[in-house]
Homo-oligomer: A and B are copies of this chain.
Amino acid sequence: MPHLPPFFSKVDELQGKFIERLSEAVAIPSISSEDARRPDVVKMGEWLAEQIRALGGEVELRQLGKQPGHEHLDLPPVLLGRYGSDPKKKTVLVYGHYDVQPAQTSDGWATDPFKLSIDDKDRMFGRGSTDDKGPVLGWLNAIEAHQKAGVDIPVNLLMCFEGMEENGSEGLDELIEAEAKSFFKDADVVCISDNYWLGTEKPCLTYGVRGCNYYSVEISGPGQDLHSGVYGGVTHEPMTDLVRIMNSLVDPDGKILIQGIDDLVAPLTDEEAALYPPIAFTMDDLHQSLGNQVSIYNDKNDALKHKMRYPSLSLHGIEGAFYTPGAKTVIPAKVIGKFSIRTVPNMEIDDVTKLVQKHVEQEFAKLKSKNNMKFNIVHVGKWWVEDPNHPNYTGAAKAVERVFGVKPDMTREGGSIPVTLTFQAQLQKNVLLLPMGSSTDAAHSINEKLDKKNYIEGTKLLGAYLHYVAGELS
């Protein structure tokens, strides 16, 4: 890869400009979940389009119409971009988002969240710095450095940058479906840079994400909330019934107690088991993330497997019961317990739901309560797993090794990233998650940051990936 050294040098040379580009982007408070900020989201999309056009790319800001359920608001446009259209080259589709989570200084930020602030450790603080403006601009920076270094980009690039990722990605699935055989038809592989390294030192490639089946159980009985002094002891109490049902779902060691769930989980192969020991992750890392030594497992590999490739069940809370500080002697009339199961191959959504519903109904029947029980599916989302031996991954792995001098960790994520699944399903192409930021970036939290090193070396990584994946695909 003789073209890479001049590209890398140019990235280093241009880093001041790239940071200035990020600084301009962070200054636009493109919060998609706040009505009043919608014009800023649109402004951010337009700014991004202008940047790409200035680099010679073609851009369409695709309007998606009104926001469902909020018809006074237009959805922000999806940016559909193209850089290069050489039929002899392979085509890489990259995805990112230009909207951000809410942020106010009063939430506890040490600096103005919409002013990029660099501290003496070269940490660049600002809302959207790592999620996901930094990675999106990484692609633009890579294009610019190639141009200025006089190095040809060996693939065509398709870009899909949305402005509603932090607010349910409204309209995106429909767009991808509609454009699968049109705008997206040339894509050979998909690359998404919108997640994080497992730690702070070693890059990773992410080849899987757990799904999420979210359920609720509603128990009702009394016609209204009752005084526990007056009616305690004579009425079937919905809370008592609900706690019994919630208690039956999972044990304190995280074991799911619903019959049949374990049988759905794909057995661990030797090949997959071999992926965990090399991962740069320690029990100390886990305890630091948890904020305390409350891990169920004492062995790093066990912990990783339960984070990535085994299901889990969490009890989130109860709606309708007393929840404020202090004391209230109430018998709540209707309570709704919320829980979800993180799913993994080969747990099909409906198979899981069937087992859960059967279990809940059996447990409720055991109570012989006169209350009523209603089982609800709140939302479901499938797991996603990709073949980590595909050229999309082997190319990315080589790029990591070239830029960082280490083999990447091969990871799966705990949380769901629905667009991954949509691209895989609609385009039938291999999808890679190639993160730029590290585990300490505090996306969605106060003091979100991106380390300068991650941004600059990350720009090199994205550029190098295009070269290696072109090589692997040819």
Residues of B within 8 A of A367 (CB): 252
Residues of B within 8 A of A240 (CB): 250-252, 254, 314-315
A435 adjacent to chain B (CB < 8 Å)? no
A57, chain B: closest CB distance, angstroms = 34
Which residue in B234, B252, B307, B324 is a CB contact (below 8 Å) of A296?
A: B234
Asked if A316 contacts B371 (CB within 8 A), the reply is: no
Asked if B313 contacts A332 (CB within 8 A), the reply is: no
Copies in the complex: 2
Q: Which residue of B lies closest to A445 (CB)?
A: B224
Contact with B along A207-238 (1 / 0, CB 8 A): 00010101000000111101111111111110
**Known interface pairs A240-B250, A315-B239, A342-B232. Does A222 touch B368 (Cβ–Cβ under 8 Å)?**
no
Interfacial residues of chain A within 315-343, with CB under 8 A of chain B in the complex? 315-319, 321-333, 338, 340, 342
Asked if A316 contacts B322 (CB within 8 A), the reply is: yes
Asked if B327 contacts A379 (CB within 8 A), the reply is: yes
Residues of B within 8 A of A378 (CB): 326-327
Residues of B within 8 A of A297 (CB): 234
Contact with B along A272-315 (1 / 0, CB 8 A): 00000000000000100111111111000001001100111111
Residues of B within 8 A of A316 (CB): 228, 239, 321-322, 327-332
Asked if B338 contacts A322 (CB within 8 A), the reply is: yes
**Known interface pairs A333-B291, A371-B294. Does A414 touch B232 (Cβ–Cβ under 8 Å)?**
yes
Complex-state Cα separation, A229 to B244, whole angstroms: 24
A118 adjacent to chain B (CB < 8 Å)? no
Residues of B within 8 A of A230 (CB): 307, 413-415
Asked if A312 contacts B233 (CB within 8 A), the reply is: yes
A344, chain B: closest CB distance, angstroms = 10
Q: Which residue of B lies closest to A220 (CB)?
A: B292
Complex-state Cα separation, A385 to B368, whole angstroms: 34
Q: Which residue of B lies closest to A252 (CB)?
A: B367
Asked if A314 contacts B254 (CB within 8 A), the reply is: no
Asked if A321 contacts B318 (CB within 8 A), the reply is: yes
Which residue in B229, B322, B370 is a CB contact (below 8 Å) of A342?
A: B229
Asked if A370 contacts B294 (CB within 8 A), the reply is: yes
Residues of B within 8 A of A422 (CB): none
